[in-house]
Structure 1
Amino acid sequence: MASAGLYPELDGTALTQFVTALEGGGTSTLSPALAEEAAQARGQVEFFTVRVPVDPDASGGSTELDGAGWQPKGAGPFPCVVMPAPWTDLGWLTYAAQATQIARRGYVVLAYTPRGFGKSGGEVDVAGPYDVRDGSAVIDFLLANLPAADPSRIGFLGDSYGSGISLLVAANDPRVKVVGALSTWGSLFEAFYENGTSHTASVDALRGAARNARLSERTRWAFDQMQNGDAVTGELLQWAEERSPRNEIDRLDRPDLAITFSHAWHETLFPVNQTLELFNRLSVPAKRIDLSIGDHSSPEMTGLIGLPNRIWNATHRWFDYHLKGLGELEESTVVSEIMWSKALESRADWEEATGTPVRFHLTGPAAGGTDGGLADKPQNGWSTAVSTGTDTPATVADAIIKTGYAEMAGKPKVYPTAAISRTAAAVWTSEPLTEPAKVRGIPSLRLTFQPSAANATFIAHLFDAAPDGNASIITHAPFTTQDATPGEPVVAEIQLQAAGYDVPAGHRLMLVLDTQDPFYGDANETDSKITFSSPEGNPSHLDVPLA
């Protein structure tokens, strides 16, 4: 759900000037790239703004959505692309440069601002039933008012918030034949609650980005519930699942629907696993996913400001093939940009893209040491305790989105492992690797722990630790248990987020478990402890998929 406030690159003034140039010429205020785009577009497409009437919501009164259209000059008929805007006050303006490029490729394009944002009426429904019906109403409007539009060739394309709306509209309107879902979600619930832990920073960021939007009472209630981090209610679960494309699998699995996804490995708003689950459960004949270095929407951002972009270029080719019959369909359905080499790996499916799990057993610290080991054989009978309530340098990221931009620039966050308090965190390290380790897929952790209180939260971080003691994060996952019996063992089965990462030879794998992170809700009670162990017959271990 991208916001101009979260993305400095998304310059609303520049996009407004670009639209002004489309309407009346004059490109002196534009960058060279946008000036050339606008000048060429004026000879090829017609641009116009629209107001799309839709059903009123609970707030009452007539409701119209703010939008804009691009129509190629000529008789047509032309295939159509509908673009619901991201989670931003800029609304459809976000797509001004990208929609122009698509229209110049021979498409009728209609971009619109979802209800509750910008100049659209109504209240924010968070990809709920009103938003789904709005998508169909936009199709009706397009076909009724643009005679060059081909009703048999319609696609939906969106980034972030617009991507989830696109998937849900496609599930409910068979007129949609192609979907581009960039930085999307599969399960809204699992995006905000992972292993019983609330993603409070994500909800805070989304709410901050929507501070000028008109949130419905139901939306405010849902955000309050998620920010409070209370135990999940059935009502909240129902709200989230109603807005989850994963629950529409049966209706998305149409033989005439083609879907392309993109996602970032270190996504902090909608972690990648829940989107991968949607991708892998789909059995549509044509599907594709592109996984990149970065964070939410950042891999696509240069395309939104009119510059060449790998994700958008691949999406253009996808629509050209499925709506225009041009080009060739790529044999690979999974394309991965590997951290930090930026090498691209193309594989036929997720199974082929995933490595073979290699088991590392958690062992106790050596005599006089503090850190346990990650070994090839189990060691039972040890235990190590950490105190809750203190954060450590082992964190998910410095900031939502911004850390991802640094990663894209080849400057991943540096973690000084010696500064991680061994009383506030438990640490296990492997021996130095004798050859590079290619992490491909979803690492998993099986762990026994004893909380001293009924509620406990910890965060598992998997690091690539260099010989100098500094580390880069490979992946992570939080875990929370509530209403446990204090002092009784709890067995946790934790899937960390998927990763495509190359660990150099000579480096070590490092697992760090601490109890606080500014990204997550904290269920720990004051002055409590968590004791990790590896009991006989049930050894604690970390499985890392290595190619």
Structure 2
Amino acid sequence: MALRRLFTMFTVAVLVAVTLTTSPARAAAGTTGFKAVEITGDGGVALKANVIAPAASGRHPAVILPSSWGLNDLEYLAQAKILAGRGYVVVSYTPRGWWLSGGQIDTAGPKDMADLSKVVDWTIANTATDPARIGAAGISYGAGISLLGSAFDSRIRVVGVLSGWTDLVYSLYADQTRHRQSAGLLELAAQIVGKPSAELTGNMADFNSGTDVAGVMAWAKVRSAATYLDRINANNPAVLIANGWGDTFFPPNQLVDFYGKLTTPKRLELRPGDHAIAELTGVLGLPNEVWTSLYSWLDTHLAGGTTSANPIYLKPLNASAESYPAWSAQSSSTTRYGLGRIRALDGTGLLGGSVSSGWTKTLPADRDTVASGGVVLITNGAAAITGEQPKIWLPFVDRGRAGVWAAERPSSVQRIRGIPKAHLELTGTEPTGTVVAYLYDLDAIGNAKLITHAPVSWLSGSGSRGVDLKFPATAYDLPAGHSLTLVVDTVDPLYYDENASGDSITITGGSYVDVPLR
């Protein structure tokens, strides 16, 4: 209870600070100011909301903003005022089960979809909205509801997906590995400021215990826009997707895959940062690149604007922004780096050359190293703010617990663009297990900056196997004279691992890493 009060007091303090800068008395010229309303959702559930609109007469385009997981309709006050000043009716609402809205958390399920349609109904009936020009957008939970909603309500003509998901199964179980910290933080927020349904509580209990995986996946699939891709394509909304390279809640590969299958007007933007970090200053009412991009997208597709910009916008981790006509245009080749025999002198193998055989590297299955993906939100969030990737000193990686392979140092910059992949040949494995792979930028004195990382698990069989993993998409310039370095261990606090104490995992020849280069 004390934790709930602390969380509530902190959130209210932040929202009050935003409210003071966006109150009706300070409303932008030409707007009505804010009005708190209650909208009747599906089954009579009360949804708390606020509305602000242009003061000018006539019909206007509208934007509906469902709030993020753990927050409420006050979240978007600053952006609602800006959008109203740009000529939009803006309705922000708190989804069912959160704060003062009624009902229980549906986790972007069928009830949330029905609620969104009820909000559209209310907006058309109670504001000066043009029914043919309605958009939905939001951050995180609001993004997911908006995108899913466009599959079920064809009146939604534009969608803004800011730090959202397209495949909740992938978000929870990418490469069969349960994402521990991100799911735990979402569960904690629901317990503190929400009213979790029995369905949510039961599925999270199964997720945490690793039981009824098929059941949890079925529940998550219903809440994935990828499941309804054909419907979204048929309804043809214009979809903007913006996310962070290091999003620990909704890693970007799912978005890249979904974007590639969309046939609607579409745009994909990826920037440094973790979940919702890139949009944060905009929520506080400060100038923000993501929100500016959303304005442009709305203006183009709801207000008669035009654009000639390339649909792919990428801001690399350590280079200037780039744009491309298609995802595939960013990389021109793929280099395969074979993993070689570990040298006895320094416990490091060669990363590069042809794929070799005749060597092994055995790892304990229950021992961590300093190689790490960091802490959810904090590590990649700080990197986005400072412009510096998280780093370790490579000599501190215990070679008794990890395999380390370093490439020769190139004489020119290597521009990594896209989704690196790794194939690891394993022998002597138990029926369940996990390995975690990290790609680092290693300088001449041992400092290693994290480029990207990924876990992979297996849940059946024993003996020899090959495992394939896809690293999260990245854009990184490896400087001349630096070494691309692979570290493989078996434990990372970001994830649940499937290893048993005392087990071991042996990596063998035939293993390699594929790196897409510009």
TM-score w.r.t. length of structure 1: 0.90
The C-alpha deviation readout for 1:19-60, integer Å capped at 9, x for no partner, is 3665553xxxxxxxxxxxx35x1653332011011123xxxx
Q: 2: distance between equivalents of 1:274 and 1:18?
A: 33
Task: Give yes or no for contact 2:22–2:77 (8 Å, CA) kept in 1.
Answer: no
In the TM superposition, 1:229-308 aligns within 5 A as 229-230=210-211, 232-233=213-214, 235-254=215-234, 256-284=236-264, 286-308=265-287
Q: Aligned with 2:159: secondary structure?
A: strand
* Alignment-mate amino acid for residue 68 of structure 1: N
Q: Distance in 2 between matches of 1:5 and 1:308?
A: 31
**Match of 2:317?**
339
Equivalent of 1:171 in 138, 145, 151:
151
Task: Spell out the pairing of 1:28-107 with structure 2 (5 A cutoff).
Answer: 38-39=26-27, 41=28, 43-56=30-43, 62-88=44-70, 90-107=71-88
2:48–2:101 CA contact under 8 A, matched in 1: yes
Structure 1 residue 219 corresponds to structure 2 residue 200: yes
Please tell me the root mean square deviation across aligned C-alpha atoms, in Å.
Answer: 2.0
Higher mean alpha-carbon deviation, 109-118 vs 377-386, is at 377-386
Partner of 1:524: 499
CA distance in 1, matches of 2:79, 2:499: 46
Residues 189 and 458 of structure 1, relative CA distance in 2, 3 Å threshold: same
Q: Deviations over 1:197-252 (max 9, x none)?
A: 1001111111122222100000111111222234622x222100000001111011
Question: Which amino acid counterpart does residue 55 of structure 1 have in structure 2?
Answer: D
Amino acid at match of 1:15: L
Counterpart CA distance in 2 for 1:275 and 1:182 is: 11
Q: Is 1:142 aligned with 2:123?
A: yes
From 391, 394, 414, give the equivalent of 2:391. Answer: 414
Give the secondary-structure state (helix, strand or coil) at the position aligned to 2:371. coil
Other-structure match for 1:506:
481
Deviation per CA, 1:147-188: give whole Å up to 9, x if none: x11111000011100000001111110101000000011100
Mapped to 2, the partners of 1:201 and 1:215 lie a distance apart of 19
TM normalised by structure 2 equals 0.95
Partner amino acid, structure 1, of 2:77: A
In 2, Cα distance between equivalents of 1:24 and 1:453: 63
Number of the residue aligned with 2:354: 377
Mapped partners of 1:299, 1:495: distance in 2: 24
Aligned residues: 513
* 2:173 is the counterpart of 1:193: yes
Cα distance between partner residues in 1 of 2:14 and 2:194: 22
Q: 1:272 to 1:107 in 2, by over 3 A?
A: same
Query: Which stretches of structure 1, 4 residues or more, deviate above 6 A after TM superposition?
Result: 4-8
- The 2-side partners of 1:260 and 1:7 are apart by 32
CA distance, structure 2, for counterparts of residue 232 and residue 308 of structure 1: 43
- 1:361-386 CA distance string (max 9 Å, x none): 11112353411111222221111101
- The question of whether the paired residues in 2 share the 8 Å contact of 1:15 and 1:97 is answered with no
Secondary structure at 2:342 match in 1: coil
- For 2:468, give the aligned amino acid: E
Shift of 1:7: 12
Question: Where do 5+ consecutive residues of structure 1 fail to align?
Answer: 26-37, 57-61
| CA distance, structure 1, for counterparts of residue 380 and residue 227 of structure 2 | 31
CA contact (8 A) 1:338 1:344 kept: yes
How far the C-alpha of 1:353 sits from its partner, in A, is 2.1
- Paired with 2:303 and 2:159, the residues of 1 have a C-alpha distance of 14
The gaps in structure 2 that reach 5 residues or longer are: none
Cα deviations across residues 483-525 of structure 1 (Å, max 9, x unaligned)? 222xx21011211111011110111011111010001111111
Partner of 2:401: 424
Q: Which amino acid aligns with 1:270?
A: F
Q: What is the CA distance between 1:5 and its match in structure 2?
A: 12
Instruction: Please tell me whether the aligned partners of residues 5 and 209 of structure 1 are also in contact (alpha carbons under 8 angstroms).
Output: no
For 1:7 and 1:79, how far apart are their aligned partners in 2? 36
Paired residues of 2:429 and 2:464 also in contact (CA < 8 A): no
Q: 1:542 aligns to what SS in structure 2?
A: strand
Residue by residue, what CA displacement relative to the aligned partner does 1:244-292 show, whole Å, maximum 9, x if unpaired? 00111101113741000101001101111111111111111x1001100
Find the aligned partners of 1:117 and 1:425 in 2 and give their Cα distance. Answer: 44
Partner of 2:19: 19
Identity over aligned pairs, percent: 35
Indicate conservation of the 8 Å contact 1:355/1:441, yes or no: no
Q: Deviations over 1:451-472 (max 9, x none)?
A: 4422211101111111110111
Are the counterparts in 2 of residues 167 and 179 from structure 1 also a CA contact under 8 Å? yes
- State whether residues 402 and 487 of structure 2, in contact with CA within 8 Å, keep that contact through their aligned partners in structure 1: yes
CA distance in 1, matches of 2:368, 2:185: 20
Per the TM alignment, residue 6 of structure 1 is displaced from its structure 2 partner at its CA by 13
Correspondence for 2:436 among 432, 440, 459: 459
Superposition deviation, residue 331 in structure 1:
3.2
* CA distance in structure 1 between the partners assigned to 2:200 and 2:237 by the alignment: 30
Residues 7 and 315 of structure 1, relative CA distance in 2, 3 Å threshold: farther
Name the residue aligned to 1:34.
none
- On the 8 A contact 1:268/1:401 being kept in 2, the answer is no
Q: 2:371 aligns with which of 370, 383, 394?
A: 394
Contact between 1:79 and 1:324, CA under 8 Å: does it hold in 2? yes
The reply to whether residue 311 of structure 1 matches residue 290 of structure 2 is yes
Inter-partner Cα distance in structure 2 for 1:6 and 1:519 = 25
Taking the aligned partners of 2:334 and 2:213, their CA distance within structure 1 comes to 32
Q: 1:293 to 1:236 in 2, by over 3 A?
A: same
8 Å CA contact 1:414–1:472 kept in 2: the answer is: yes
Counterpart of 1:322, as a letter, is H
Partner of 2:515: 544
**Cα distance in structure 2, aligned partners of 1:540 and 1:470:** 25
Q: Is the 8 A contact 2:154 2:235 kept in 1?
A: no
Shift of 1:415: 1.1
Instruction: Identify the range of structure 1 (331-340 vs 98-107) with the bigger mean alpha-carbon deviation.
Output: 331-340
